[in-house]
Copies of this chain bind each other. A is one copy, B any other.
Amino acid sequence: MRWPRMSERDEFDEIARLFRPLTRGAPGAFDLLDDAAVLPSRPGYDLVVTKDAVVEGVHFPEGEAPDMVARKALRVNLSDLAAKGAEPFACFMALAWPRRYEARDRERFALGLAADLETYGLSLMGGDTVVAPGPLWVSITAMGWVPEGRMIRRGGARAGDLVLVSGSIGDATLGLAAVKGEIKDPRGRLIFRYRLPDPRVDLRDELRRIATAAADVSDGLVADAGHIAEASGLRLELDLDALPLSGPAASWLERQADPKAGLLRLATGGDDYEIVCAVPPGTQRPAGFTVVGRLVEGEGIAVRIGGQAVDAGPGGFRHL
């Protein structure tokens, strides 16, 4: 780790002031003053580790508020942990401040991260900052515990399993369109959902109880459900008439001249950060989940709207 730099006493003091409180007293973080952190093994538990970076101009718009960037960077990683059924407990962060960032921007970034660490109950245990040319770059490694052998994989689904998705789908892709000025979002709900994902850590115990496989919906429902099918060696059948939509997304869809294309856009847009999972056919559907399809013998993806097959294309999603 490279937080403290005696050559840059001001930077050192700033880092200490900004980030040390974010360890939230974790003893293995050594107040961010050591070369590394130490994590004792936890017998009976496995450590689940994920690492996603966010880059200005790719994963969030240029000029996004620093606190929102920090929170999004953490939350996309918490979403991965949630999908795996893991309880977040620590993170590490590397970040490149752009040269335009001033002290108040760095402070605002740290405050945003602090708020979310508190909300989700985890500690910052180490990392690295640098001022560099180029865009703001934040890489977070997040870790969580699951009971031994209980991480929910992508590849655990069986033929006949139902495909469920949590919450509602498509708001974030409309939010991105609204950020770009392509659609209206008078109450700002779509934009907010795009800017600040809500990782479904609340679902983790339920998922461990019912899911044979799970993934978070970051690349779009079709793509991420497709990942489960592919990893499980199965064929995905999705029925988009069942797609759960928020009020603003439903009302956007009503205004579309081509509702099929609209529905497909929502189902292939990214950044929802909901959970898609497979459950055995007899499972009682938990509150907050919608059945959107099933997994069968075979391979590939079949998407239906109004009872008719549609071409979902490659299914995925490109950021910005």
Contacts and interface: CB of A to CB of B under 8 A. Distances in A.
A128 B51 contact: yes
Contacts of A318: 7-8
A281 interface: no
Interface in A33-71: 33-53, 55, 57-59
Given A33-B231, A314-B6, A94 B52 contact: yes
Number of copies: 2
A6 B227 contact: yes
A149 to B, nearest CB: 8
A307 interface: no
Contact of A130 (B55, B141, B316): B55
Contact of A134 (B8, B51, B84, B135): B135
A6 B83 CA distance: 19
B57 A133 contact: yes
A231 to B, nearest CB: 5
Contacts of A260: none
Nearest to A216: B35
Contact of A132 (B58, B128, B146, B314): B58
B7 A128 contact: no
A154 B126 CA distance: 14
28 contacts: A1-B50, A1-B52, A2-B218, A5-B223, A6-B315, A7-B316, A8-B316, A30-B153, A33-B231, A34-B154, A34-B155, A35-B50, A36-B81, A37-B50, A38-B46, A38-B48, A39-B49, A41-B42, A41-B46, A41-B47, A52-B128, A53-B94, A55-B96, A55-B132, A58-B130, A96-B137, A132-B135, A133-B134
Q: Which 6 A-B pairs have the closest CB atoms?
A: A134-B134, A7-B316, A41-B41, A53-B94, A139-B139, A36-B50
